[in-house]
Amino acid sequence: MFARLLSGAVLGIDARLIEVQCDVSGGLPQFHVVGLPEKEVSESRERIRSAIKNSGLQFPSGRITANLAPADLRKEGVGFDVPIAVAILIASGQAGRPADNNYLFLGELALNGAIRGVRGVLPIALAAAGHVDGLVVPRENAVEATMATDLPVYPVETLGDLRAFVSGEMKIEPLGVDREALLECEPPPIGADLAEVRGQALAKRALEVAAGGGHNVLMVGPPGAGKSLLARCLPDLLPPMALDEALEVTKVYSSAGLLEEGVSLIRRRPFRAPHQTISYAGMVGGGHGIPGPGEISLAHHGVLFLDELPEFDRRVLETLRQPLEDRTVLLSRAGVSVRYPSSFTLVAAMNPCPCGYLGDSLQPCRCTVHDIRRYRRRLSGPFLDRIDLFVEVPRLPPDELLASRGSGASTDVRARVTDARTRQWERLSDEPGCFSNAQLDGDLLDACCELESEARALLARAVTRFGLSARAHVRILRVARTIADLEGAGKLAAEHIAEAIQFRATGESIGE
């Protein structure tokens, strides 16, 4: 007999519907899975065989062929266990699917017949809309599936219960989740509060500007000055994620199998801080079979923090240049190409020299001029050109170090940042794919950055005096536009341009 039903496969953060076909016929006992399966899919034969027997059902003794169509698409993951097992039960006459329902099946089988959760349920549920009448998923993935679709989601725990449900012998109530209540729930803070950082007014201002326009920032200062603590404050300065942003981030983590237990929708902006020894594949993405997301995609709509920036492999840093501009990364391997989103705010920190004490007021620097130049040359000019804000984080004087901490600083800054971002969203509402000042370019940059006469003259003098490149000129305008938005101003005034130039001056000295 022949049976056919639907499942899904994850390709990047998107999904494709997969038709699972099963034929059970006479002949010598054989079980084949075809359709370009990876090893974990091929190994499902043994899991399915044991699960069917241990569920009190009869495993067919004839020739079994399971085909996963389209046959030219590589299939990986353990989510095909359940659909193949159900197709075998239908084809062998042990289960009869009601003719008026068309379900999509997902799940991994344990040897005792229990159904376990799988990765990628959210993108598969999104892809299933309009093609099926409902989704049958493991109970631990059920809430995740309901976030993506209005289709009924049926949570199952064992293969025996699933067989009874498919045959109409058992009723399973679809899971109901109050999505609006979940979205309205404010996620708790994940980083430090700016009030915990003593002094460093200029660095705090740089973080506010970075959050207000989505700008990349590089902090330069001696060890212990507070660079890492400042970086961990940034995620809580950013405005809350909208539903579309939360779904995109959740799709990335779901496809990578990194959703925390009990989390169906990621509401907090990601904060990723990879170690300096990270590989090219770890940063950008890769791996066996279909390439998985790297750190730049796991930081999507959040913050990527690179501490001790010059200590990273130069090849790894150079791979960030294209994602920083395009906010997406295309990974191509033999027979497959996957595109991952990578719209993140880069926050980097570095010492001014190898020993870390160049220009320090208390501890002398032990580095030679050659050592300092070699240290800074680890960062290429094109990479530094993609950073909008450069700020020095000096050693704190005793009076600031011993001063009392403030209170609620991050909350106050976040309110100003949210207002500035709202102005940007309203101004860019007709521009698809452009959501912040950091993305302004070309005619759109000219339209959004109208300069007062004094501001235009000041910018012209700065270009001549500092020898600024065209890219640096553009980034000064972007930063100035954000500074104006934080103040609620329309045209760019001279003080906006002056502050933007101040944040650029340190970068010119690093690139020397």
pLDDT digit string (tens) for 279-297? 989 999 987 778 889 999 9
Contact 158, 203 (CB under 8 A): no
pLDDT of residue 458: 93
pLDDT of residue 193: 79
Alpha helices (runs of H) in 191-278, residue ranges in sequence order: 201-213, 227-231, 243-255
Q: Which CATH class is domain 2-177?
A: alpha beta
pLDDT of residue 23: 93
User: How far is Cα 86 from Cα 96, in angstroms, rounded to an integer?
Assistant: 10
Helices 470-487/494-510 angle, 10° precision: 140
E strands, 122-243, are: 134-138, 153-156, 217-220
E strands, 222-359, are: 271-272, 285-286, 292-293, 303-306, 328-333, 336-341, 345-350
The H or E element that residue 183 is part of is: helix 179-184
Domain positions in the chain are 2-177, 194-432
Q: Tell me which residues of the chain have a pLDDT lower than 70.
A: 97-101, 177-191, 403-408, 506-512
User: How far is Cα 455 from Cα 491, in angstroms, rounded to an integer?
Assistant: 10
Domain 194-432 has CATH 3.40.50.2300: no
- DSSP one-letter code for 439: G
- DSSP one-letter code for 210: H
pLDDT of residue 411: 84
User: How far is Cα 114 from Cα 351, in angstroms, rounded to an integer?
Assistant: 53
**Global model pTM greater than 0.75:** yes
Please check whether the two domains, 2-177 and 194-432, share a CATH topology: no
pLDDT of residue 57: 93
